[in-house]
Every structure is written in structure tokens, then in C-alpha cells.
Amino acid sequence: MNRAVLVGTGSIARQHVAAVAECTGRVELVAALDLDRARCETFCAQHGIPRAYDDLDTLLAAERPDLVLICTPPASHTRLTVRCLEVGAWVLCEKPLCGSLADLDQIDAAARRSGAVCSSVVQNRFSGAARHVKQLIEAGELGRPLVGHCATTWHRTQAYYDVAWHGRWQEAFGGPTMQLGIHTMDLFLWLWPDWAQVFASAATLDHRMEAEDVSVAVVHHASGALTTVVNSAVSPRQETRLRLDFQHATVEAVYLYRNTTPDWQITPPAQAAPSTTVPGDTVAPRMALPDAPAASHGAQLAELIDAMEQGRRPLASGDEVRRTLEFCSALYKSSSTGQPVRRGAITPDDAYYRSVNGHPLT
């Protein structure tokens, strides 16, 4: 049985408690930590967690966890992740994992030294439908990718951004680009990983906040495909939409916070409704979407435990995390400079390497 501890007992921590419950018999939540000891003790009592702590080093020394679940505000992620990796614990950290490519290099270096691995929470990859679509793409059954649209159009009130760290460059690393749309962008960049250039604009249109509340990007892919990416916190009718047009089919997912199989459809040309056929009425049973689990923290945690037990790298780690963070860095740099940014152009001497948003991080 893998021993896990929880660091941070805010609202997202409940998702991690539920994820552990989904993995019954494989992982046990033995302790939790929060700087507010009283809040931590209350949380532990509510969720049947045996022990509460308010100091990380004390927790790590006493519990010797196999796995640490980090649920704190973003600005603390790098420091906590590196410390846990240093003692040999694997880490599953909430998004965004860190605020810069430089911080990601620091995390990767700590992982190499210890042999442990850090994985970032990107649960949208872990729905059965998304994984099936990924298999179809990799097998070439949908044809060449042509045009796509990735949109996180959500709504957040001013009260949301009045919370101490929300909407601030140093604490949140950005607005909806880093805090809301990063999940959909990660899913999009996992399905179409070959992004080559970003040309973007960002603005603060309707909130009192440091960071943007809208960003829009045009993306060129190495394959020749063109896509648009929209991240918004100002959209009263909330929706998450991913549309990918291939030569032989359109793949579309429309949902809000969590995608399930009914949210996806695959449509061949000249068909108005979902179908399992491709041009020429050739039956392609593999294009039928499976009755499979929804995206969840539990699904990602199960895959991470598989990786721990099999001695392999989990799906959402290393270069798989870097792809999305580099994309966000390029988006912010393009929106600031008014120029397109090519993949690989942000090097260690660049302000956007040291901070995803170009603003100094403390």
C-alpha cells in the first residue's frame, strides 16, 4: 500500500481525497498539512485522515510518504515539490505546476537526483473518450490534422479576483490563461502536440486585476494545421469547447469543467450527426466512442500509481508538462511584444524563461 500525504487543505484538496478513495487498496492518505493548523485538524477530522501537521519537514520526516499530493496556491508549488522530491517522494501537484520554464528545470533536476517523479494535475487527458481519440490520431485513422479551435470561455466575478492571490502575476502567474484555460490547452496540445508558432493578444477587459482576463491566440503547427485558442473569464454563458478538424472527421468535445464520453462526438464529412463511418461508407468501428470513465483526479491518480509500481514515467510529467508551459510562455510573450513567438525561441537568457508571464517572480 502506497502512503500518501496531502499538502494544503483548501477547496481543491477535496478532489484529491476523493481521488484517493477511488484508488482504495492501492494508496492510503495518512496525513495532511496546512499552515493553518486548526483548519488542517478540522479537515482531517472531516475526511478521516489520521494526522495533521503545519510544517513540511516535520511531516516528511515522520510519515516518510511514497506520494505527496500538493494542493496549495501556485506560488508555493516549486519550493514544495522540490523539497518532496529531495526526500524521494513522488509528487502529484495541482496546476499550474510552476511559474516558469526555469522553475520546471529546477523540478526536473530534483527528480533526476532523487529518482522520484513529479506529475502535474491535467485530469482532462484521463477521460476514456480523450484517450480513445488520442489513439485514433496516432493510428492515422482520422487523417491529417487541418484546423482546430480550443476555447475556455468561462465567467468569474470581481469577488473571485479579489481573493488574495487570484489574478496576480506573481501569485497566480496569470489570469484565465494560467488558471482556467490551462486544462483545455493541455488537452489540445496533448492531442495536437506539434505546435510551432504562437501569435497572441491578451487584455484586461472587465475586472480590476493585474493579469489578463482574456487571451486569444492563432497557432501554427509543424504539420501545417492552424488553430485558434481562446481563454476568457468574462463570458456569461460558460462553455469549454475543443474542435479538431481532420481530413476524414471532425472531433468535438463540448462541456464545462469535466468531460465525459457523451460530451464527445466524431463526425465524418457530409454527416450532420455523430457516426462510426468514414468517407465511402467504410465502417470503422474504432471510431465509435467507448463507454469509458469521465475525466477525474482519480483517473489520473490511478495512472500515476501504475507508473510508480511499474517503474516508469507517468503520462503528465517531464516534457509532457513542458510543452504546455512553453506554449503559455510563448502566448504571453507574443501578447506583450506584438510579435509571433516560435517554439524553442524562449531560452534561459529570456525574461519569459524566468517567468511564464514576463513579470519577475519572487
CATH number at residue 145: 3.30.360.10
Same structural domain, 164 and 103 = no
- Is 37 contained in some domain? yes
Report the pLDDT value the prediction gives residue 278, as an integer from 0 to 100: 42
pLDDT exceeds cutoff 60 at 50: yes
229, 258, 293 - which closes a domain: 293
Same structural domain, 39 and 137 = no
Report the pLDDT value the prediction gives residue 327, as an integer from 0 to 100: 98
Global pTM reads: 0.93
Same structural domain, 156 and 49 = no
Rg (CA), the chain: 21
pLDDT tens, 214-273?
999 999 999 999 999 999 999 999 999 999 999 999 999 999 998 999 999 999 887 544
Using a 10 angstrom Cβ sphere, with 0-12 exposed, 13-18 middle and 19 or more buried, the burial of residue 283 is: exposed
Any alpha helices (H) in 151-260, and if so which ranges? 158-162, 169-172, 176-179, 182-191
d(CA 214, CA 202): 6
Residues 6+ apart with CB under 8 A from 188: 148, 150, 227, 229, 242, 244
Domain total of the chain: 2
Same structural domain, 136 and 218 = yes
- Is 351 contained in some domain? no
Strand locations in the chain (E): 2-7, 27-33, 51-53, 67-70, 90-93, 118-120, 145-155, 195-203, 214-221, 226-232, 234-246, 250-255, 264-267, 277-278, 282-283, 341-342
Report the pLDDT value the prediction gives residue 287, as an integer from 0 to 100: 73
- Is 43 contained in some domain? yes
Same structural domain, 145 and 213 = yes
Same structural domain, 132 and 275 = yes
Report the pLDDT value the prediction gives residue 271, as an integer from 0 to 100: 52
d(CA 73, CA 254): 28
pLDDT exceeds cutoff 90 at 348: yes
Residues 6+ apart with CB under 8 A from 231: 151, 152, 175, 176, 177, 180, 181, 185, 214, 215, 216
Select from 132, 65, 122, 164 the least CA-distant residue to 317.
Answer: 122
- Is 326 contained in some domain? no
- For the chain, what percent of residues have pLDDT higher than 90? 90
Same structural domain, 307 and 276 = no
- Is 321 contained in some domain? no
Give the angle 216-175-301 at the CA atoms, nearest 5°.
Answer: 100
Whether the Cβ atoms of residue 259 and residue 295 lie closer than 8 Å to each other: yes
259, 293, 327 - which closes a domain: 293
- Is 11 contained in some domain? yes
d(CA 83, CA 79): 6
The model's confidence at residue 164, banded by pLDDT at 50, 70 and 90, is confident
- Is 341 contained in some domain? no
Residue 140's Cβ-side half-sphere holds a number of Cα atoms within 13 Å equal to: 0
Run of H or E residues at 16: helix 13-22
- Residue 223 domain boundaries: 126-293
Same structural domain, 154 and 190 = yes
Same structural domain, 216 and 92 = no
Same structural domain, 6 and 146 = no
CATH number at residue 58: 3.40.50.720
Report the pLDDT value the prediction gives residue 286, as an integer from 0 to 100: 65
pLDDT tens, 77-131?
999 999 999 999 999 999 999 999 999 999 999 999 999 999 999 999 999 999 9
Same structural domain, 112 and 147 = no
Same structural domain, 91 and 160 = no
Report the pLDDT value the prediction gives residue 284, as an integer from 0 to 100: 60
199 vs 183, 186, 233, 328, 334, CA distance in Å?
20, 18, 20, 11, 6
Report the pLDDT value the prediction gives residue 361, as an integer from 0 to 100: 81
**DSSP code at position 97:** -
204 vs 46, 120, 177, 213, 231, CA distance in Å?
39, 27, 12, 5, 12
Report the pLDDT value the prediction gives residue 280, as an integer from 0 to 100: 38
Beta bridge partners of 227: 148, 219
- Is 342 contained in some domain? no
